Amino acid sequence: MTTDSASRPNPADTAPPPARRLSGVVWRTTLLILFFATLVGVLVALASTVMVTREERKRLQQNLVELMQTVERTASIAAFARDEQLAAEVARGLLRNSSVARVVIAEGGRELAAAGDAPAEADTKLPVLARALHSPFAPDETVGELRVWPASARMDRDAGAYSRYIMIILGVQLITVILSVAWVVLNVVTRPVKKLSDELHQLKLGSGERIMLPAGHRGDEIGRLAEDINGLIGHMGDLLAAERDMRAQREESELKYRLLFESAQTGIFTLDGDGFLRDWNPWLSRTLGLPTHGEATRPYALGEVLGDDSSRLDALMVRALSDQRAATADFELPGTGTGPLWLHLVLNPMQGNLMQGIVNDVSEQKRAEANALAMAERDQLTGLLNRRGIEHRLGDALAAMPAGGGLALMVVDLDGFKQVNDNMGHEAGDRVLEAVARQLESVVRRTDLVARIGGDEFLVVLGSLESADTARFIASKIVGTLARPIRLGNGQSASIGASVGVAYTSTPSDAPDTLMRRADDAMYDAKRAGKSQFRFAPGAA
């Protein structure tokens, strides 16, 4: 620092007393670093130990699962053949793993082979691992079960030993890092900062003195801090010039905002607390049929322009103003031949009980969502409604049932379809399902519903029936139509049949799931009666 010797205070007079030296920034910073680094390090070490122990236990348990998968095939053969010797060999082989306490291979409710002693109840921290054994010739047939008791105590000892080893490594690393960081911070940061603080304490304002750069800190943060202090007075004049520049920039920003406001392909407007438009841009004028803002001769209420009869806009305004955050909603307006116009409205609260609004046309997005929903409710193979689609429409069909009318729900299950798949292949089975779908559509009316709700199970909903006789006629026609051979091309044909269960109701309040359950029970009655026929659920007219 460049000062006169007469004006510089005596260093002996300004040196801090011994009692304050220990409480200076150097020592406080160093001690705080040591304290918090030690605290965080201990917590991390403890957390790491717990996590490592848990992950090691999981790994050992996963090894058991993979070990069971390795011998699953051999155990399945032993259970299928009821070979006790082979099963015993598998059990003893598993028991050689130190993580296994007991192995049991069961077949048909009896133990085919067992090895090892079951651990005491206090040592069974881990659940018994069980795996179903399937026939080697019929994967869907369960022939037995493989059960393994983990050696919890041994696994805990292994996991604990591994975690203690990790904790020792972390502890050594922690001590090294703490001491290194403390030394670096003490010598690189805190001491230069304290020296800079002492220089500032002795600086006389208005004397033109400058702070000397700490040795070895030119170009770093501490050096830049000293330079910033030296340039503070010279920057005062620059602040006035910066203020003038900011004013010009603000005017330029306002002009850019106005241009953006006028040319944006998004609706932008300001709304007061009563729901009246204060201003709006040309896009909103074109979209909602408003005059331009400068040509408006009367105030316009946004709810009236949007045709909002349900006060949704009022609720949106209250939410935005009360929560003091943006609130959004979609509004549907009558559109042109392409469909309704959907607008996504965003209200942002402003000062003075005002709101800024943004409107975007989301009609294409809404149409895409509707198309996606429709595709999700269709069976990809037949094009019919799937289970989700028919469930959505069945309730509407019941609600729309006229007074004095009735509704019939039919469950159609194909007879002999499995033989077609087994003998002719799945491709032929798919062609059969497509043919059945078209035949069902040809039998019912255009207003009726047809759905495929399972592999070879279909659902038919007949609405607006005068009596159950019409349902009987349609059910009989379905049975007769599906009894005819189905041509598959290349000179091939398939012969199937259909068992039909019918549930008839004249009560709109009937639950759809109850109606479907009644029809399903009636279909199984038709199956038991010899197939290729229909049955009405009890209670039908």
Q: Spell out the SS3 assignment of 67-125.
A: HHHHHHHHHHHHHHHCCHHHHHHHHHHHHCCCCEEEEEEEECCEEEEEEECCCCHHHCC
Q: What is the pLDDT of residue 304?
A: 83
d(CA 452, CA 417): 14
Contact 355, 320 (CB under 8 A): yes
CATH of the domain at 413: 3.30.70.270
In a domain, 186, yes or no: yes
DSSP state of 401: P
**Buried/exposed code over 109-142 (b: 16+ C-beta within 10 A; e: otherwise):** eeebbbbbeebeeebeebeebebebbeeeeeeee
246 domain residue, yes or no: no
User: What three-state secondary structure class fits 354?
Assistant: coil
- Distance, CA of 437 to CA of 509 (rounded, Å): 29
Do 385 and 339 belong together in one domain? no
Residue 515 in tokens: 């109606």
pLDDT for position 502 = 96
Mean pLDDT by 10 residues, the chain (541 residues): 44 44 59 77 74 74 82 83 84 83 84 78 70 84 85 73 77 78 71 71 62 70 72 58 74 64 75 88 83 83 81 88 89 74 88 88 78 78 91 88 90 94 91 94 93 93 91 95 90 92 91 93 94 87 46
Round to whole Å and give the CA distance between 241 and 314: 47
In this structure, the answer to whether residues 94 and 113 fall within a common structural domain is: yes
In a domain, 391, yes or no: yes
Q: Are residues 342 and 430 in the same domain?
A: no
Do 50 and 182 belong to one domain?
yes
pLDDT of 122 = 52
**Torsion sign (Cα): 88, 90, 93, 98:** negative
Kindly state whether residues 292 and 429 are assigned to the same domain.
no
169 and 305 co-located in one domain = no
Q: How far is CA 100 from CA 60, 90, 160, 163, 272, in A?
A: 10, 13, 18, 21, 74
Q: 29 in helix, strand or coil? A: helix
> Under DSSP, is residue 191 helix (H, G, I), strand (E, B) or coil?
helix
User: Has residue 442 been placed in a domain?
Assistant: yes
CATH of residue 327's domain is 3.30.450.20
Domain tally, the chain: 3
Domain end residue (candidates: 188, 213, 238): 213
Asked whether 112 and 105 are in contact (CB, 8 A), the reply is: yes
* Residue matched to tokens 């969502």: 369
CB 406 within 8 A of CB 472: no
Are residue 174 and residue 287 in the same domain, yes or no? no
How far apart are the C-alpha atoms of 435 and 288, rounded to whole Å? 50
Do residues 328 and 387 share a domain?
Answer: no
The angle formed by the CA atoms of residues 421, 424 and 429, to the nearest 5 degrees, is: 45
Q: Is 149 within a domain?
A: yes
Distance CA 350, CA 74 (A): 73
For residue 129, give the nearest of 93, 92, 99 by alpha carbon: 99
185, 106: one domain: yes
Is 388 in the same domain as 520?
A: yes
Count Cβ atoms below 10 Å from residue 105 Cβ, excluding itself.
28
Helix (H, G, I), strand (E, B) or coil at 132: strand
Regarding whether 383 and 362 lie in a shared domain, the answer is no
Looking at the domain assignment, is residue 271 inside a domain?
yes
In this structure, how many other beta carbons lie within 10 angstroms of the beta carbon of residue 308? 19
Q: Which of 180, 195, 213 is the last residue of a domain?
A: 213
**Rounded distance between C-alpha atoms, residue 486 and residue 497, angstroms:** 10
In tens, the pLDDT along 132-183 reads: 888 888 888 888 888 888 877 776 777 777 777 777 887 787 788 777 777 7
- Residue 541, in any domain of the structure: no
What is the reported pLDDT for 19? 40
Give Cα separations from 159 to 48, 152, 153, 154, 166 (angstroms): 13, 10, 10, 9, 11
Query: Which of these, 138, 231, 185, lies nearest to 30 by C-alpha position?
Result: 185
Sheet holding 449-452, edge to edge: 449-452, 457-465, 406-415, 497-505, 534-536
- Chosen domain end from 178, 213, 248: 213
- Asked if residue 307 is part of any domain, the answer here is yes
Q: How many residues does the chain have?
A: 541
Q: Tell me which residue of 274, 252, 44 sits closest to 166, measured CA to CA.
A: 44
Query: In terms of residue numbers, what domain contains 193?
Result: 1-213
* 16 and 161 co-located in one domain: yes
User: pLDDT at position 12, please?
Assistant: 41
